[in-house]
Structure formats: structure tokens, C-alpha cells
Amino acid sequence: MLAEEYKRPEPLWPKKRLGEWFSIAKKGAGGWAFLLHRLTGILLVLYLFLHFYVLSTLSRGANAYDNLTVLMESPFLLLLELGLVAVIVYHGLNGIRLMLLTLNVGVKQQKEMFWVVMAITILTTIIAALFMF
Amino acid sequence: MGKPHVVIIGGGATGAALAHDLTLRGVRVTVVERGEVTSGTTGRHHGLLHSGARYAVKDQESAKECIQENMILRKIAPDTFELNNGLFVAITEEDMAYHSAFIDGLETCGIPYKEITPKEALQREPNLNPAVKAVVEVPDGTMDAMRLPLRFFATAQSNGAIIKTYTEAMELLMSGKTITGVRVRDHVTEKDYDIGADIVINASGAWSDKIAAMAGVHVPLQPSPGVLVAVYGRWNNMVLNRMHRSGDGDIILPQRTLSVIGTSSWVVKDPDQLEMKKEHIQLMYKMGSVLVPGVKHAKMRAAWAAARPLIGSEGEASTGRELSRTFKCFDHADHGGVEGFVTIAGGKATTARGMAEVTTDIVMKKLRMNVPCRTRDVVLLPHTAYYRRRM
Amino acid sequence: MAQRGSLAWLWQAFTGLLLVILLTLHMIANHFMANGLLTYEGIIQHLSNPVVLVLEILFLTSVIFHAMSGIRALILDWGVSKSVDNTVTRVLVVIGVLMLAYGVWLFTVIL
Amino acid sequence: MAEITFKIFRYKPGVIDSPRYDTFKVDVEDYMTVLDVLEKLRLDDPTLTYRHSCHHGSCGTCGMLVNGKEVLACVTNVMELGTPVVTVEPLKNAPLISDLVVDMVPFFEKYGPVEMPLIRESEYLPEGKPSEEVGTYTRLESCLECGLCLSACPMVATDPDYMGPAALAAAARVVQEPRGQDAPAILKMVDNEQGCWRCHSAMECSEVCPNDVDPGGMIMYLRQKLISRKLKGHY
């Protein structure tokens, strides 16, 4: 074969990989913070719609709403609600962490800040659990 | 296309400078390199922009080449070097005995220098061994061992040179006693193909004799590896050299955030079989800490070996230190009777441009072209220009 | 029309911060001050306080903006073209406005 | 010395079209790096392709995934990994040419336009007094242009048009020390959703950076600069 006839094929282009957002092959605390922030964000949007549905019963009078709240006293739903508390606290606190980072505050301590966020989240969840059960 | 075509075997500093010079003089150029560019010896050298002072006593031809090229490179590749100068320091009485011969050498070779007091040297380099007895400042510098050649490649490429990486020369195509091209293997696609050439230049450094053997000719070359050690931290800002005959571990070179201690020296037959000498790592630490005591406990980043391509016949050298660092160009029409084949061997990264100029002059004569060299003045493109979409 | 770059980010941060504050108030008001909001009557009574009503509407607005803007950020991270971005933004604005209108309507219905 | 199993990613267009892993058993000495092992393997199998040059973490060519993490092979000691099986793969988020070789052209298409000067003032040994002739000590920039940060970034994974950590860090360096470059123009260049506002502070780039460039921190620096400029413009 002569050089004129030879051509190396084009390199293989990678596809967009959504999995990287949710992959657990993380390199550091910041990666985990990102993953959790994204997951909790998505969960909260879903919850927002659910919350709208629950409140929509208000428009159908007292009975409809009160029937639903009785349902919500079930231990399973209470547990979900506890999860909700954890999700909200995490998303909120980490949101503050992200805001501080963007203002170039505590960038060197971002890992420690993540651990603080996690600690407060867990603590709040435990306190909430004591109130609920 | 009426332009003559030259194929360069070897994508190191020499190949890069050659591609640049040849394209400037109106030749079509193809470079073939079996790995990534600068993956052989070029990338692995310690990154010293030589002032020539190291060779000023024993190897004055090489020293003169170095200082001349040093000054040219500063002009054509601005902002590629840490131009912090270098110090030659005498620490022992033995070093002091070398002092006058050293100064004489610098004078003879025309290397600018300045003697400074040990006190001033310690002010400039606080980590230097306080036992220092005499200090001479010379225009050494640090280069980026990969990015300087990349600037040559980038400029050559923008002038039409084709650089083929992962393409290994397997065979030299000959018609009688004349080279007509190269059969190469693309390691990406595992396909062999032929590149026709008016002239083939063997710029494969320590591998030169292996390539020359494909044409049945011989290059007197001694691959001479040395071990280098990189440690974390920048222990000095200037290049620090021991003021004595070149020996093991006599230089500490700052580079980015690291310091590189070099080097040892021995000779091998096959530059691919570079077994690391473990005891040399300890030796580098030991000798390096004579210059800068602090490096004794510095954390090691890497230790590696690189094969210098030194000109010399087998048996002539036992460590490689005896051999000159100068370069030589072999037109194989005169060395072995093969037409259309030129080998450039020896030399240093600092002198790559000069090696290319001499070689290209010979190639021009062979091609019956008469175009003068312009590489002394043409400012090189930035290294990032090397990475552009290829056609 | 779409807010791009730093402005979108600043609004997201601003509403986020507002939500942290409002949600804290929301939780305190709803679960500690009031005797639980688990009955229809309780809610009516709670919302009859005009300060609570204003805060709740502010809360509603911020949460919808923050959520829609979050979804948009997620979609933009997918590396979509400007036209897709514009479409997505329009759709999200419509959804957001509808949700807000529905929320406000709910308040008017129950009061 | 110990025997370590290496699982090495192989792909060659037209030869190995669906990537596979080749397994090699190698006797590893305690000083050996992943790059040393690759060099050893290539003696027997010259078709094994990978990028390398300086062998001490200064050129940035030998970036690859070792056990799933972005590293420079030349400064990654095999024994210190502590795993009996070592997996070696090419960097992510870059076009794959062959085996462990990725195409760096897209990287430099983002990075090059920033035109960060290669030489900066040396901040090492500030007590040292350079000679009058030299004036100030200089050193080569920290960024090795290795592409590890782009491979680790979850945003680059889904948005190939995102400038990415390396180019943004270079931009931040120009803003910090313009050295003749046009810093306001660079700030304007990064102030958009494909620039420093695409980042979600996962900080994976800073986690894998082999030379303490801290690209994540540099992006935060750019954002703070942009926000304070914007706020100043409003009053």
C-alpha cells in the first residue's frame, strides 16, 4: 500500500454520558456533594408536584383533606416525610455551601463544609424523628 | 507537486528542528515517530537549556555549540524558558582545584560568566549548601523538554509538514544502493504502507544505529542512559551545578513545581532495554544533597532513565562520560555507499536547531537546491498550535 | 429571552437563600406555633393571618421559580442547542405560571 | 517484588472495533510506576499504544484512568495502589484514537484561545534575591495540559461545548496575572453558560489535578470576580 492510499480512521467520539452525573465512582467529597444535590433537587421537584396534589384536596372541601391527613399518619408515610426533612435540609445547606463557593469563600475548605452539611442534616433528621415518633 | 520530499525518522527534538528547517527551505516533509512525539530521549532529559559551561573544560566544541544555540533559542522561542541563570558551585577542595581550569574554559568558549561571592550566592539561593567556597554564574536556564520541540513541530506543521505519530519505520525501501522511501507500520491500525522519499533522514537519536542497519550501514553510536530523579518542591530557582568534572548527581534543576536531580551514566547496546538502576536513585539523593542539603528528605515524584545518543564506537566508553556531546551528520553516500540517506546523531536538546541547520545544508546540496537557512531568525509558534485538527 | 450565565445563577442563588429562610419560618409557623395543620379548620385559621398569607405566597413564588430554574439548569447541562434552550425555557415558564396561578386560586378558594 | 495482574483497555479502529481488556501478569519492582509497566509490556507487544514523554509528571502526556481514577501514569507507583489487579483505561470525555491514546485536539481547542503565557513569576523561595540582570525569578506554569480534569468533570461528560476546568483555570491565571494578555476580554469570554457558569462545583477536577492547579477553585475565583464586577456596575 502506498501512503496516498492510506488514511487513518477518525477517532471514536464519546457519547454524552448522563451516567457521570449519578455515577458513584467519585474522586472526592465535592463529587458526592454534587451527586446528592442533584438527586435531592430532582426529588424535591417531584415532591413539589405531590404537595400540589395533596393541597388540591383543599379545594374539594374539608372532608377530602381530612381523609388524606388521616392516611398520612401511617408509619410508612411518616418515614417518607422524615426522608423529606433530610432531603430538604441537605439541599438547603449544601445550596448555601455552593453559594459561598461561588463567592470564593472557603473553597479550600469545601470538603470540610460538606462534612458539616452532612452532620447537620443527620442531626436535624434525628431531632425531627424524635418529634415525629 | 514539484517539491522534493524528505522523510524524517524520529519525532524528537532533532526531528522537530529538522522538519522546521526543511519546510522553511521549501521541502515537503513527513515525520514518522513510533510513539508520541518526544517519547524517546527528548522528553526525558532534565530540561536544561545549556550554557555550555558543563563542557567548557573537557569538551569545548560542544560547549561552543551550546552557548551559540542558547542565545538563538532565547530569540526564536521567547517565553519558553525559565531564564533564571545557573550557578556552578565549588563545595570541596577538589572542586576548588577545578576552578581555574573552569574559568579558562569559559573564556575560551566565549561563555559569559560572572564570579559571585558565596555570600551573595546564598542570598540568591537560600537552600544552597552553606559550605560553598566559590561560585560562578552562567546563562543556564530551564526549558520544557516537550514544549520546545512542540513549537518546532507546530511551526513546521503550519508550513505543511506532516507528522505521523504511532508510525514506526519497519524497512528502508531501496533501489540498488539508493534509498527510495520507507515502509512504515501504523500501530493504530496495524497496517503497513510505503512512503516514497527523495531523501530519508535518520534522526532517531539513540536508535540511529538500529535504523541505519536497515540500510546495511553503520553509525558509531553509544546509547548511554542516565538515571534522573524528580523530587517534590522547588528547592532552588536557578540551575545549580557542581563545579567539577561532570559526574553523577552534579546538577539540580528547578522545573515547574519540582526539582530534578541528574544524572548518572552508563552505556548499553539496546536503548529499548533501559533497566532502571535502583542504586542510582540513592546516589542521586546522596549527591544532590551535597548541593542542596534539603533534598535529602524531599519526597520523590519519579525516577526514570533516558538514553543519550552519544557518538562513539563500541568499547570506546565504559560510562559514556568520556564521549563528546557534540553531534555529527553522516551522509551515507560517503559512509557506507548508500545514496539518499542521511543520519544525524549525537548532540543535545539545546543544540537541536544547529544540528538541523547542518543536516539541512547537506540535504540541500544533495537535492541541488540553494536556499539559505532561516531558522536563526524565525520566531516559533506557541506549542499549543501543534494540536490542531489535521487534514 | 432566556436568562443566561451569571444572571440565571444569581436568581437561583437568591431564591434558594430566600427559600431557606422562608422554609424555616414555614416550619416554625406551621408545626410549632400553630397546633398542627392536619385539619382543614386549622389551615383556614392559620392562613387568615395576613402576614402568613403574604409569606406563603412569596414562598410559593420562590419555590416554583427555583424548581423550574433547576430543571432548566439540568437540561442545559445536557449540552442542548440555543433553540432547545429557548423552547425548554418557554415551556417551563408556562408550567411555572400555571402552578403559581393554581396555588393562588387555591388560596382564594379556601379563604 | 510482586506479581500484579494488569487489565489494559484495547481498541484499534478496524482491528479491535469493540473495545476489550487484555490481561497481563507482570513482576513489579517496588519503584515501578504504571508507565514503567506499560514500557515493559510494549517490548513484547509493540502494538500497545499510549502517550508518554517526560516520565516525571512535567509534560502531562500520560494521563489515563488507573483503577478508575484519573492519574499521570508516570508518577503512579504500582505497589502503592495496593490492588492485586490494576485496570488501565484511556481518559474519558475525549475522542479515542487507539488503546490508551486520546485525541488532545479538542482539549487545546478550548485551552488554546486563552493564550495563557507559559512562564510565570516564581513564588518559591521568596527570601531569595535574584541578580539585577535577571530581575525576578520565573518558572513554568503549573498546568500540565494533561486533560485529567476534563476527564473527571461530570459536566464535560454531557456538554462537550463546556469550556471545562483546564481552560477556565488558565483564564483565571490570566486574570490573576495578565502578563500582557487582555484580562477583561478573557473575563468576558468565560462569562456565559458554556464558561464558568456551567460548573456545579463537584470539584472532581481539583481532586485529580496532578500539579495543584486547583481548577475548581480557579472557577470559583472567576465567578467571584464576575459577580463583584456586576454588582459594582449596578451602583
Q: Are residues D41 and D95 in the same domain?
A: yes
Q: Do A28 and D97 count as a contact with CB atoms less than 8 A apart?
A: no
Question: Is pLDDT of C1 > 50?
Answer: no
Question: Is pLDDT of D87 > 60?
Answer: yes
pLDDT tens per residue across span A25-68 = 888 999 999 999 999 999 999 999 998 888 888 777 777 877 77
pLDDT for the residue numbered B140: 96
Closest residue, chain A, to C74 (C-alpha): A38
Query: Minimal Cα–Cα distance from A130 to chain D, Å?
Result: 33
Residue D168's domain spans which residues? Answer: 105-234
pLDDT for the residue numbered B208: 95
Which of D102, D129, D162 delimits the end of a domain? D102
Mutation site for D-interface testing, chosen from A104, A108, A117 by largest number of D Cβ within 10 Å: A104
Q: Nearest Cβ partner of A107 from D103, D157, D217?
A: D217
Gap between the Cα atoms of A15 and D157, Å rounded:
8
Give the residue among D204, D104, D222, D91 at the shortest CA–CA distance from D153.
D204
**pLDDT above 70 covers what percent of chain D?**
99
Query: Minimal Cα–Cα distance from A96 to chain B, Å?
Result: 34
Q: Are residues D228 and D117 in the same domain?
A: yes
Name the phi and psi angles at C70, rounded to 5: -65, -45
Give the residue among B290, B238, B281 at the shortest CA–CA distance from B49.
B238
Fold of A30-132: 3 helical TM bundles of succinate and fumarate reductases (1.20.1300)
Q: Are residues D48 and D161 in the same domain?
A: no
Tally of domains in chain D = 2
pLDDT for the residue numbered A133: 73
pLDDT tens per residue across span D119-136 = 999 999 999 999 888 889
DSSP annotation of B44: G
Mutation site for D-interface testing, chosen from A34, A91, A93, A105 by largest number of D Cβ within 10 Å: A34
Fold of B1-47+144-220+323-391: FAD/NAD(P)-binding domain (3.50.50)
Domain boundaries in chain A? 30-132
Q: Are residues D128 and D182 in the same domain?
A: yes
Q: Do D130 and B82 count as a contact with CB atoms less than 8 A apart?
A: no
pLDDT for the residue numbered C37: 59
* B:158-187 residues touching chain D, CB 8 A cutoff: 166, 168, 187
Give, in words, the CATH class of C5-110: mainly alpha
Q: Are residues D127 and D215 in the same domain?
A: yes
Give, in words, the CATH class of B85-141+221-311: alpha beta
CB B56 within 8 A of CB B63: yes
pLDDT tens per residue across span B208-249 = 999 999 999 999 999 999 999 999 999 999 999 999 988 899
Q: Are residues D86 and D118 in the same domain?
A: no
Same fold, B1-47+144-220+323-391 and B85-141+221-311: no
Question: Beta strands B251-255 and B239-242: pairing type?
Answer: antiparallel
Which of D52, D85, D102 delimits the end of a domain? D102
Which of D81, D102, D123 delimits the end of a domain? D102
pLDDT for the residue numbered C31: 67
CATH number for position D126? 1.10.1060.10
Whole-angstrom CA distances from D220 to A7, D23, D168, D182, D202 are: 44, 42, 10, 20, 12
Average of per-residue pLDDT across D65-83: 96
Give the residue among A42, A43, A41, A65 at the shortest CA–CA distance from A54.
A65
Q: Do D55 and B123 count as a contact with CB atoms less than 8 A apart?
A: no
D200 vs C contacts (CB less than 8 Å): 77
Q: Are residues D89 and D9 in the same domain?
A: yes
Name the phi and psi angles at D161, rounded to 5: -85, -10
Q: Do A27 and D204 count as a contact with CB atoms less than 8 A apart?
A: yes
Domain boundaries in chain B? 1-47+144-220+323-391, 85-141+221-311
Average of per-residue pLDDT across D44-63: 95
Q: Do C8 and D191 count as a contact with CB atoms less than 8 A apart?
A: no
Q: Are residues D166 and D206 in the same domain?
A: yes
| ipTM of the complex in this document | 0.92
Q: Do D198 and C77 count as a contact with CB atoms less than 8 A apart?
A: yes
Gap between the Cα atoms of B275 and B223, Å rounded:
13
- C72: CB partners within 8 A, 6+ apart: C8, C85, C88, C89, C92
pLDDT for the residue numbered D235: 54
Q: Are residues D35 and D52 in the same domain?
A: yes
Average of per-residue pLDDT across B127-155: 96
